[in-house]
Amino acid sequence: FGEQRTEAIEDLRIAVGAARIHSQTSTRQDDQLSSFTIDDRRDATLIAGGTGVSAFAAFISGLTPEYPHAVRLVYGVRTPELLLFLEEIIGQAARVPRFTVAFFNEAGDEAWTRSSGAAPAGPEYYSGRIALSVACPELTASHDRVFYLSGPPPMLRALGAELQAHGVAPDDIRNDAWE
């Protein structure tokens, strides 16, 4: 805020059963323009903290059962009440076979975690902050995927460094810094 004002432009393109979201963020303070594009030719892991999930909402909504690539959403919030787009995300996870979800609740509400794990094929629920070792089994598999991070800058830095420590190439880590 203050001198650092951010402008965001989102353009949704849906083509032949594949959705792609393109968002550009320009920070007035340093006049740098960064591109944030979900590549519809590769598997994707979307990692969101809090309202950072908004950067992925249009892409998730546009997913169809025929979408050819695996998409994993890892979404962390301080408390379950702060989950945005919850019904839509759960609905898409049930409808789109290659779309999986892991929710993290930083407050550690055990009842939320226990009661939500009833559907074995549904979203996963965890207590605590986003833990890549728990939420991203694809870290031990082939790195033929792109990791997209959106949320508070400290989260982006920490998770980006952790992904690189697991051998993910910097070009395969995309950030949508909104602060």
Q: For residue 72, what are the β-bridge partners?
A: 45, 100
Of 164, 165, 169, 150, the C-alpha closest to 75 is 150
The whole-number pLDDT of residue 1 equals 34
pLDDT tens per residue across all 179 residues of the chain: 333 322 322 222 222 222 333 333 222 223 333 446 788 889 999 999 999 999 999 999 999 999 999 999 999 999 888 889 999 999 999 999 999 999 999 887 665 554 454 444 578 888 889 998 888 877 766 567 899 999 999 999 999 999 998 888 898 999 986 55
CA dihedral 38, 164, 137, 92 (to 10 degrees): -20
The whole-number pLDDT of residue 111 equals 58
The whole-number pLDDT of residue 62 equals 94
> What's the predicted TM-score (pTM) here?
0.75
The whole-number pLDDT of residue 176 equals 85
The whole-number pLDDT of residue 31 equals 34
For the beta carbon of residue 8, count every other beta carbon within 10 angstroms. 13
